Structure 1
């Protein structure tokens, strides 16, 4: 059975730098679908045209309890720094949180894990990098790791990514 991954890419309006443009998600979803992954939209507040344009299953809800229940049906949650990331972490669900370069202090600056949520891994937008680069790194990690539910993600994501500092990719691949 294909892995099901839930996505949240827009945060609240008070800090638009935390959000990823919706148009960037379409390519990521298509790449994942070609590998048998079912992308699921947990994102709230999308217009009908945005939902129609995305090759993904909409399971979003304004109700936190319904969202939590739907998250539990997924193999992984990928979210920007917003409430669903904290909900996934509090529930102990596997989660990757995508962070902007100058993220909130709670996420530290050098770590790719967090003491707040042991099941969460952090993937940071590096200085000078746009969100597309972050999504490209995420795709390598996810595609290398599928099927996520069947086996623990391993450090093969690092070797697949190429040269550079892969501490994030390596520890992102470890499940606690």
Structure 2
């Protein structure tokens, strides 16, 4: 057996300079092939193992990725970035017990420092605290808030505390219709005195969430009846079945290039007898001005003022078809039918190799079978939509 190579800073840096451009260009197989001979002995610089994990994960080689990430964490336990990367792999594989523990390191990273709430009170770890006040506050994107709101009443039951929920202004009105909290404040306002606090996405660790606990009572969010009445009048004349579309996420999202489409890519969904409305927000909404041929699409984007409008529309249409974005979580929380398009290796919450999700019982997942290829996804969705529309008409 040949001896493992002797590494110098110069030789390590030279290999890193070869591999990084391949990762940036998403040429992951080439990056793996370049690294493997140097790490075949099972030893080598940590920096190269990090690059190998970054090459393996997008290929869906998650068990191999997990083994490397666990080795890095064991060797460098103070590397919080590595611990966060491991957490996302663990959660994607469904290992909630350890995944949630490692996920707490998300606030030790440079790009998340601005989200961390500096609180001079202990973080709630799931223990009873009757007679005291627990502050639960949101922390990340809108979709995360909609997904994890379900755990606020769970935390109240487990803690026995008076629960104060702090949310951003855009989700405030929906949060007011959530059961299980005693008071609600808007982020930026001074909350009432409290004894302990917990980020909304730390609740799974505190309550020791398992897959068997999901989905919990459904639905846990409700649309505003007045908005529902308004949108029912607005949509009453449109053909049924009626499908709402979202084809692009937030452009500033770190993974947006892998999750967003163009509206014209959804052209195969234009089936006879199916009506469409666009609830797309952001720069991509202008694409609705020139919909695919044969797709009767009404754009509602300019009329949608807030998430209450979106919730009302989702409560009226027959189906939401969307990429991975906040409306799918809102639809799921409302118990509205939703079909979600996912990239080959999706965000951790969608798990792997299943077309349903334990988070939302009325959601169906359509996954890429090849990295970057949306054609198969849309082809499968067209077949499913054709059967679904026929059943609706029948």
TM-score with structure 1 length normalisation?
Answer: 0.76
Distance of aligned partners of 1:112 and 1:48 in 2 relative to their CA distance in 1, 3 Å threshold: closer
SS in 1 for 2:244: strand
Distance of aligned partners of 1:12 and 1:105 in 2 relative to their CA distance in 1, 3 Å threshold: same
- 1:48-67 to 2 correspondence within 5 Å? 50-54=287-291, 55=295, 56-60=297-301, 61-67=304-310
Partner residue in 2 for 1:5: 243
Give the number of the structure whose residues are more often helix, by fraction.
Answer: 2
Structure 1 position 73, deviation (Å): 1.1
Who wins on radius of gyration, i.e. which is larger? 2
Is the Cα–Cα contact under 8 Å of residues 241 and 275 in structure 2 kept in the other structure? yes
Count of residues in Structure 1 that have an aligned counterpart in Structure 2: 147
Structure 1 position 84, deviation (Å): 0.2
Partner residue in 1 for 2:278: 41
Partner residue in 2 for 1:98: 341
CA RMSD between the two structures: 2.0
Any idea what the Cα deviations from partners look like across 1:22-74, whole Å, max 9, x if unmatched?
Answer: 2212x235x32xx2000111111246752221141112325100011011110
How many Å separate the matches in 2 of 1:90 and 1:112? 18
Unaligned runs of 5+ in 1: 152-176
TM-score with structure 2 length normalisation?
Answer: 0.35
How many Å separate the matches in 2 of 1:124 and 1:110? 8
SS in 2 for 1:137: helix
How many Å separate the matches in 2 of 1:21 and 1:12? 13
Partner residue in 2 for 1:17: 258
SS in 1 for 2:240: coil
Partner residue in 1 for 2:327: 84
